[in-house]
Amino acid sequence: MKNRQIILVARPKGKLGPEHFQMVEGVAPDPKESEVLLRVRLISLDAANRAWMQSATYRSAVEAGAVMAGGAIAEVVMSRASDFKPGDLVFADTGWQDYAALPAKALIKLPHIEPITNLLSVYGIAGLTAYFGLLHIGRPRPDDTVVVSAAAGSVGSFVGQIGKIKGCRVVGVAGGTAKCHWLMNELGFDAAVDYKVGSVHRALKAAAPSGIDIYFDNVGGEILEACLPLMNTGGRIVCCGAVSAYDGTAPAAGPRGVPGLIVIKRLLMQGFIVMDYFNERETAVAELQRWVQTGQLKIKEDVIDGLESAPKALIGLLAGENRGKRMVRVSG
Amino acid sequence: MKNRQIILVARPKGKLGPEHFQMVEGVAPDPKESEVLLRVRLISLDAANRAWMQSATYRSAVEAGAVMAGGAIAEVVMSRASDFKPGDLVFADTGWQDYAALPAKALIKLPHIEPITNLLSVYGIAGLTAYFGLLHIGRPRPDDTVVVSAAAGSVGSFVGQIGKIKGCRVVGVAGGTAKCHWLMNELGFDAAVDYKVGSVHRALKAAAPSGIDIYFDNVGGEILEACLPLMNTGGRIVCCGAVSAYDGTAPAAGPRGVPGLIVIKRLLMQGFIVMDYFNERETAVAELQRWVQTGQLKIKEDVIDGLESAPKALIGLLAGENRGKRMVRVSG
């Protein structure tokens, strides 16, 4: 069986471009004892993919010359492990290719939920990241003001909607008028700030007149800096990502006001990744399903066809062109 | 009765100097109904005094032309409030003067502990800040590595010793060889890093070979930046102060790695001020007393005589010339 693979030919020093990727063709690997052969169906695209190219994070860095890493939904086509049989759906870091052979212990078996794209959006890393980060670290109370950046992205769009379910005033920060209108008119955000126009600090001050109780930070940098002085005493900053620092050269200096404002306002800043809450995922998925069924939580997915489209789709995601969860359909 | 007062004549734009203060003489004020007249005995000098000159913090900013603000131990000399009688010792923001008239509700009655200087050091804001910050936010476990900056200062010297009591490996960051030797030889720190010599990051890496579990941050800036990449996953940064940002002009950009490293390492950064734990102070003082009695906790005080010495003593404190708790003896 033919196996197409997208290789990261070089780790980018500046902005990521198509020249950093190359497609090659080989044959599907043979699974070893206790491994399974997987056919990749949907690859998750995430800003974190770019961070993996910089250095070791919560995983080792992606190396030049290797298949580009990435989480995906895949189907077992041949199994040499007792726990898996052909037809099983799993989540795994298959990388950007048609087929992967992986040890059984590297696979997470997925429940039967249709459409399966939902397993990468609301019931996958995006929805669970929003759920655990906002509820466990942000600890929203009714009437709290929640600000979320990259609000039209996969995680942000869920954060804002869950904030509304919890009775908060929700302000989204996004790029462009169209996204801002979509957040307010379709997703029920109370306000939206277009970071591409004028002073974000001034716009946030107007959109959050009682100050900010929870800032769910997907971007770091200047938007975090704009939020810091607006935080209320005892506020919580949920550190989920720092996209502003991923697609460039050396890390820039941090936001002004750290740590001075953290002291003065007794803020809590806490980082997390969704795997920290892996044991609680079933409860979370059940609650997310209830919200989807009652129409309180809307799902926005951005599915792009073809493995060959993955590089351009990731580059576009880093430029903010997507709404909701972006993924690449590799097969059936 | 003659009342000497030290006025902050102008809020400094850059470094604090003697030219920002002026002593004037007037007469002691008359207490109004429900007020008491206080004779100031010991004024606490703290790096935070300088932060108060910048802008509103957890208190309003100190204004040009007003008596310089400052916490002090004072004795009631005349009372028009039912709860207080002459001879009572209180803690209050009397400001830098011989006498102050304050409403009873602004006073904290002090227990009878001798020498009363201990009420400003180990049993006062310094000791309690170290106690609550390290134990409640840092949550030390045996064998954790604790790094504390401004380690030879009032708060830092207690943080390190309490860390040792809790079974941690303790590393102090301080300025100069003499302070570093004192931390190791007198206070029992495991290691000390002189931030005035060479790379702090490299020296910390050597002094904390298993990484840092708790960083008790009194200074912010470059030393926070040096600690961030050395933090272990799940580490805690206790944000107590940001002295590096107090005695200068506009706030500088924050440390590199915020918030990226907070995410990757799932760090917690949390700010606090000691008043947040006011309700638990009696329990804390009792435990501190036990540690003092068993010799596990040593008290270092730096008492300077004369109200007129206060400006120079604060300027010196900001330059790091003190060891332990600096205070000014105004009377008796």
Residue B243 C-alpha, separation from nearest chain A C-alpha, in angstroms:
9
Q: Is the pLDDT of residue A63 over 80?
A: yes
Question: What pLDDT does residue B257 have?
Answer: 87
The domain covering B2-121+300-329 belongs, at the CATH homologous superfamily level, to: Medium-chain alcohol dehydrogenases, catalytic domain (3.90.180.10)
- Residues of chain B positioned with their CB less than 8 A from the CB of A268: 268-271
* Residue B18 pLDDT class (50, 70, 90 cuts): very high
Task: Give the Å distances, CA to CA, from A85 to A34, A36, B34, B104.
Answer: 12, 9, 81, 77
Average pLDDT over residues A265-285: 94
Average pLDDT over residues A209-238: 96
Question: What pLDDT does residue B249 have?
Answer: 78
Q: Is the pLDDT of residue B32 over 90?
A: yes
- Give me the residue from B252, B268, B271 closest to A265, CB to CB: B271
Per CB distance under 8 Å, which residues of A are interface residues toward B?
51, 57-58, 217, 220, 224-225, 233, 237, 239-242, 245, 251-273, 276
Question: What pLDDT does residue A250 have?
Answer: 73
Judge contact between B242 and B174, C-beta under 8 A: no
Strand B99-103, strand B35-44: pairing = antiparallel
Q: Is the pLDDT of residue B256 over 90?
A: no
Residue-wise burial string across A117-139, b where 16 or more C-beta atoms lie within 10 A, e elsewhere: bbbbbbbbbbbbbbbbbbbebbe
Residue intervals of chain B classified under CATH 3.90.180.10 are 2-121+300-329
Question: What pLDDT does residue B224 have?
Answer: 96
**Cα B216 to chain center, whole Å?**
13
Q: Which residue of A has its CA nearest to B57?
A: A264
DSSP string for residues in A191-217? EEEETTSS-HHHHHHHH-TT-EEEEEE
Q: Is the pLDDT of residue A124 over 80?
A: yes
- Give me the residue from A256, A271, A273 closest to B259, CB to CB: A271
- Residues of chain B positioned with their CB less than 8 A from the CB of A244: none
DSSP string for residues in B207-248? H-TT-EEEEEESS-HHHHHHHGGGEEEEEEEEE---GGGTSS
- Give me the residue from B256, B261, B271 closest to A267, CB to CB: B271
- Give me the residue from A254, A266, A267 closest to B254, CB to CB: A254
Helices H, strands E: what count in chain B? 9, 15
* Residue B86 pLDDT class (50, 70, 90 cuts): very high
Q: Of B36, B57, B9, B3, which Cα lies nearest the Cα of B241? A: B57
Q: Of B106, B140, B104, B110, which Cα lies nearest the Cα of B42? A: B110
Instruction: Identify the H or E element spanning A302.
Output: strand A301-305
Question: What pLDDT does residue B293 have?
Answer: 96
Name the β-bridge partners of B93: B71
Average pLDDT over residues A56-72: 95
Is the pTM above the cut of 0.90?
A: yes
Q: What is the mean pLDDT of chain A?
A: 96
pLDDT in tens, A70-84: 999 999 999 999 999
* Cis before A115 (ω within 30): yes
Average pLDDT over residues B29-39: 98
Q: Of A275, A319, A264, which Cα lies nearest the Cα of A150? A: A319
Residue A21 C-alpha, separation from nearest chain B C-alpha, in angstroms:
25
Question: What pLDDT does residue B145 have?
Answer: 98
Name the β-bridge partners of A239: A217, A271
Q: Is the pLDDT of residue B172 over 90?
A: yes
Question: What pLDDT does residue B178 have?
Answer: 97
Judge contact between A163 and A146, C-beta under 8 A: yes
Comparing A51-60, A125-134, B201-210, which segment has the lowest mean pLDDT?
A: A51-60
CB-facing half-sphere around the CA of A269: CA atoms within 13 A: 32
Q: Is the pLDDT of residue B251 over 80?
A: no
Question: What pLDDT does residue A332 have?
Answer: 85
Residue intervals of chain B classified under CATH 3.40.50.720 are 125-275
- Residues of chain B positioned with their CB less than 8 A from the CB of A276: 266
Asked if B267 lies within 8 A of A263 by C-beta distance, the reply is no
| Percent of chain B whose pLDDT exceeds 70 | 100
Average pLDDT over residues B261-287: 94
Q: Is the pLDDT of residue B250 over 80?
A: no
Residue B168 C-alpha, separation from nearest chain A C-alpha, in angstroms:
23
Helices B154-165 + B281-293 axis angle, to 10: 70
Q: Of A13, A47, A51, which Cα lies nearest the Cα of A250? A: A13
∠ Cα A32 A36 A42 (to 5°): 140
User: Which residues, 6+ apart, have CB-to-CB distance to A248 below 8 Å?
Assistant: A14, A15
Residue intervals of chain A classified under CATH 3.90.180.10 are 2-120+300-329
* Residue A126 pLDDT class (50, 70, 90 cuts): very high
Average pLDDT over residues B306-316: 98
Task: Give the Å distances, CA to CA, from A1 to A5, A100, B54.
Answer: 13, 12, 69
Asked if B260 lies within 8 A of A267 by C-beta distance, the reply is no
- What dihedral angle (degrees, nearest 10) is formed by the CA atoms of A221, B148, B120, B12? -40
DSSP string for residues in A41-82? EEEE--THHHHHTTS-SSSPPPPTTSBPP-EEEEEEEEE-ST
Q: Is the pLDDT of residue A140 over 80?
A: yes
Q: Is the pLDDT of residue A251 over 80?
A: no
* Cis before B259 (ω within 30): yes
Asked if A254 lies within 8 A of B255 by C-beta distance, the reply is yes
CATH number of A125-275: 3.40.50.720
Question: What pLDDT does residue A270 have?
Answer: 96
Mutate to test the interface with A, among B59, B223, B225, B269 (most CBs of A within 10 A): B269
- Residues of chain B positioned with their CB less than 8 A from the CB of A239: 259, 262-263, 267
Q: Is the pLDDT of residue B3 over 80?
A: yes
Q: Is the pLDDT of residue B140 over 80?
A: yes
pLDDT in tens, A171-206: 999 999 999 999 999 999 999 999 999 999 999 999
| Percent of chain A whose pLDDT exceeds 70 | 100
Q: Which residue of A has its CA nearest to B250?
A: A256
Distance CA A195, CA A185 (A): 18
- Give me the residue from B224, B253, B265 closest to A259, CB to CB: B224
Distance CA B243, CA A322 (A): 43
**What size, in residues, is chain B?**
332
Average pLDDT over residues B119-124: 97
* Residue B284 pLDDT class (50, 70, 90 cuts): very high
Q: Is the pLDDT of residue B122 over 80?
A: yes
Question: What pLDDT does residue A67 have?
Answer: 98
Domain at A2-120+300-329, CATH from 3.90.180.10, 1.10.260.40, 3.40.50.720, 3.50.50.60: 3.90.180.10
Task: Give the Å distances, CA to CA, from B95 to A326, B101, B104, B265.
Answer: 59, 11, 16, 43
Question: What pLDDT does residue A277 have?
Answer: 94
Q: How many interface pairs between A and B have CB atoms less than 8 angstroms apart?
A: 123
- Residues of chain A positioned with their CB less than 8 A from the CB of B216: none
